[in-house]
Structure 1
Amino acid sequence: MGGQLGFLYRQLTFRPKPRSQSTSLANKTALITGSNSGLGLEAALQHTSHSLPHLILAVRDPSKASPEFEVEVWPLDQEDYISIVAFGKRVIGLERCGYVLLNAGVTMLEFSASSKTGHERNVQINHTSTALLPLLLILTLTSEGHSWIPFHERPTPDILAHMDEPSTFGPLMQRYYTTKLLNVLWIRGLSSRGRKRGGGRCFVDTVVNHESSHRDYLSEQAVVKPSGFVLSLEGEEVQKRFWRETAELLRRVEEVDLPSFVD
């Protein structure tokens, strides 16, 4: 059963399988963004139950992170490119980092432009900053909702600039789900260029048990197909154009030095 009704049915009936107690994350470091509450915090708790020795919570406001276990809490403001670049340099300085889970995001139901970048905040936080982080780390998390939206913005010559216009915002959750489609398009583009590196239980299952699922979309602990649009010829064309738009936007950020493969 697909679509929104299928999603609601699975939300009510699907129970994530817990990791076997024999699963060990010893000698690993895990980094989770947006991890001071909600699914990010639950994923952190799941990691610590499997002998993980080093956990980094990346949060916008470290004072709001109060886990019941010993961790490092690093600041990361996804509306601030200086904060993102500083965070990336700090991660690169780690002796090792086994898993990175990019969970941070927002759901803004009314149009709001970021005071720091000028871009619409759903797009800035959920897509642009989430697209930049893997480039800095050379190592995402999206949503089934990417298959539900009409994506009216796709014919425009500059999708990101068009989405900064308040008149394009759309009703209810439409903009949020559009940013999740942008995540899918970006990651599919990234996976064809960069080197192949690799509730809360689903997140942990993704990073622990699906290391070979490069470029794949996972839902409910299984590899599934993304939306029909993503797999269509039109989707492939929009993906290539959108990759160029996002890369060009990031090149204009003075603090960012993009990898050479971002052509």
Structure 2
Amino acid sequence: MSFSEFIWKQLTFTPPFPKGDLSGRTYCVTGANTLGLGREAARHLVRLGAKKVVITARDVAKAAAAKADIEETTGRSGVIDVWPLDLEDYDSIRAFAKRIDTLDRIDGMLLNAAKATAQWQIVNGHESTIAVNVISTIYLTLLLLPKLREGARKYNITPHLSTVSSEVHWWASFRERNSSSIFEAADKREDADMADRYPLSKLLQVFSTREVAKRSPFERDHVIINYLNPGLCRSELGREYKTWAWWLQQTLLARTTEVGGRILVHAVTTAGPESHGRYIDTCKVSNSSPLVEGQDGPEYQNRVWSELSAELEKIQPGILKNLDA
């Protein structure tokens, strides 16, 4: 995607305002505490009548403030639950997944929590952006799959597991593919280009999500796994990037978080089986980047999954069995 195409989409596409009746349904939105997409998506879900909406945060006090704000603007109380979730802590991820298992049903999971930083930091043995956006996000995905399948069978529903991706995966240089190990290359501080790190993390996340969807076919599991692009929005995600270019984009091109949140809601409530394992852009199924869809895409995806699955087995031996029905 060229920069001119990006600008055109930002200026000409406005996602439709979410409509419908979500009565009786339960949703979860991770990373919904800040003034960002997660909070606005949760607000829409509550407004549309969801029975329960779980929002997560590392800082539950901030999430409690988000809950109060949503209750005030929607006029609905007793719908939102605030649960802690820290994607830098595997114990927190496991505890959260176990708590999800206690719910009667889960109609949709919005994996919105992410990290974008210009600072080098190691988390769980890996550079923090890769650790959070790729390893922990896919680990959580695998932990959630059995519960989603259970709900599909028990209640004859079609749960969604929607990951908030980004069009920046089109712009990743992916130099790491030239190394024998992609993840080891990403963990070398001396070779790191932190300006490319968030795009790289989203590219690896795309490869991984597609592979999970491939190994969890909709025809078997009746769970829709998709990934979406909300476009450039005025959220707190890029708060560390204080360049003039970033400021200009935020001022002239960025959507409000309410508008961006509409795309999240579309992916997790409206997108159908045709979106399984696919990229949702401008509220429709679209192609991912040429690195993903091109001739070498399957090879790259296999390499990423081979390395990631080995890492996930180290974190929790046997976790890959969650891909089996």
Question: In structure 2, what is the equivalent of residue 206 of structure 1?
Answer: 267
Deviation of residue 261 (structure 1)? 6.3
TM-score when scaled to structure 2? 0.75
1:26 aligns with 2:33: no
1:159 aligns with 2:220: no
Q: Measure, in 1, the Cα distance between the counterparts of 2:323 and 2:181.
A: 18
Question: In structure 2, what is the equivalent of residue 81 of structure 1?
Answer: 90
TM-superposition CA deviations, 1:150-183 (whole Å, max 9, x none): 10001222211211111232152x1001111011
Q: Note if contact 1:4-1:148 (Cα within 8 Å) is conserved in structure 2.
A: no
Q: Measure, in 2, the Cα distance between the counterparts of 1:223 and 1:177.
A: 20
Question: In structure 2, what is the equivalent of residue 228 of structure 1?
Answer: 290
Question: In structure 2, what is the equivalent of residue 190 of structure 1?
Answer: 212
Q: Measure, in 1, the Cα distance between the counterparts of 2:97 and 2:182.
A: 26
1:249 aligns with 2:249: no
Q: What 5-or-longer segments of structure 1 have no aligned partner?
A: none
Would you say how many aligned residue pairs link Structure 1 and Structure 2? 256
Q: Measure, in 2, the Cα distance between the counterparts of 1:236 and 1:24.
A: 39
Q: Measure, in 2, the Cα distance between the counterparts of 1:257 and 1:36.
A: 32
Question: In structure 1, what is the equivalent of residue 241 of structure 2?
Answer: none
SS in 1 for 2:172: coil
SS in 2 for 1:192: helix
Aligned match for 1:106, one of 98, 115, 134: 115
1:141 aligns with 2:150: no
Q: Measure, in 2, the Cα distance between the counterparts of 1:132 and 1:253.
A: 9
**Which amino acid is the alignment partner of residue 30 of structure 1?**
Y
The root-mean-square deviation of aligned C-alpha atoms, in Å, is 1.6
Deviation of residue 13 (structure 1)? 2.9
**Larger helix proportion, structure 1 or 2?**
2
Q: Note if contact 1:247-1:262 (Cα within 8 Å) is conserved in structure 2.
A: no
TM-superposition CA deviations, 1:177-196 (whole Å, max 9, x none): 11110111001111111243
SS in 1 for 2:18: coil
When residues 47 and 262 of structure 1 are mapped into structure 2, their CA distance, relative to the original with a 3 A threshold, is: closer
Q: Note if contact 2:84-2:96 (Cα within 8 Å) is conserved in structure 1.
A: yes
Q: Measure, in 2, the Cα distance between the counterparts of 1:93 and 1:246.
A: 28
Q: Measure, in 1, the Cα distance between the counterparts of 2:87 and 2:216.
A: 22
Q: What 5-or-longer segments of structure 2 have no aligned partner?
A: 72-76, 149-162, 225-259
Question: In structure 2, what is the equivalent of residue 39 of structure 1?
Answer: 37
TM-score when scaled to structure 1? 0.92
Q: Measure, in 2, the Cα distance between the counterparts of 1:194 and 1:261.
A: 9
Q: Measure, in 2, the Cα distance between the counterparts of 1:26 and 1:249.
A: 39
